[in-house]
């Protein structure tokens, strides 16, 4: 099945993002504990990358239990929608906190674009769950996981290139 090959590729890309985020942490300038901003960014990247990776295995797992094809996408979309909703609420809450601490790294345009994409992904998954798009369930599911990877890639780039302003105190 072509979709399963796409899901395997998504899982591999998710693993790569997680690995590269570990490399970023290992090569960072300060060697002390992670700052709140670094933790926030790493949590986003890992939540999306591991989410894409693990959720890409779900349809194949469901198929192994000989569940009919349409129900596979309904069940998988249910799990993905729930995961996306939980992520969205956590991400908005954490972003508000970080925005107050380091507003110079916060980009409203990027945030709004990513949030709108996640809302669209949840809406599409819900449409599959209620059988409004069940015939397109596989495509909708793959699109959602690709969106996860796109957001993870954006977060990866921001980890590399958008840094908070470091102020040194002289007492």
**Which of 55-69, 77-91, 151-165 shows the lowest per-residue confidence on average (mean pLDDT)?**
151-165
Identify the CA nearest to 56 among candidates 10, 87, 122, 17: 10
What is d(CA 88, CA 40) in angstroms, rounded to the nearest whole number? Answer: 14
**How far does Cα 170 stand from its chain's mean position?**
40
Using one digit for the tens of pLDDT, what is the confidence trace for 20-50?
666 666 666 666 788 888 889 889 989 999 9
Using one digit for the tens of pLDDT, what is the confidence trace for 64-121?
999 998 899 999 999 999 999 999 999 999 999 999 988 888 889 989 999 999 999 9
For residue 71, what are the CA distances in angstroms to 96, 123, 133, 169? 37, 18, 12, 60
Tally: H helices and E strands in the chain? 5, 0
What is d(CA 67, CA 52) in angstroms, rounded to the nearest whole number? Answer: 22
Q: What is the pLDDT of residue 51?
A: 93
Q: Is 9 helix (H, G, I), strand (E, B) or coil?
A: helix
Considering the entire predicted model, what is its pTM? 0.86
């Amino acid at each position: 099945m072509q979709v399963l090959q796409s899901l395997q590729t998504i899982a591999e890309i998710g693993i790569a993002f997680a690995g590269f985020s570990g490399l970023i942490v290992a090569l960072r300038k300060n060697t002390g504990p992670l700052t709140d901003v670094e933790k926030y960014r790493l949590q986003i990247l890992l939540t999306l990358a591991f989410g894409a990776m693990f959720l890409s295995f779900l349809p194949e797992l469901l198929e192994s239990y000989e569940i009919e094809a349409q129900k596979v996408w309904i069940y998988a979309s249910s799990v993905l929608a729930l995961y996306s909703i939980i992520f969205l609420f956590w991400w908005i809450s954490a972003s508000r906190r970080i925005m107050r601490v380091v507003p110079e790294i916060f980009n409203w345009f990027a945030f709004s674009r990513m949030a709108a994409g996640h809302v669209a992904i949840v809406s599409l998954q819900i449409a599959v769950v209620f059988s409004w798009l069940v015939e397109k369930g596989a495509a909708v599911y793959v699109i959602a996981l690709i969106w996860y990877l796109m957001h993870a890639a954006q977060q990866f780039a921001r980890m590399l290139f958008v840094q908070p302003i470091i102020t040194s105190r002289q007492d």
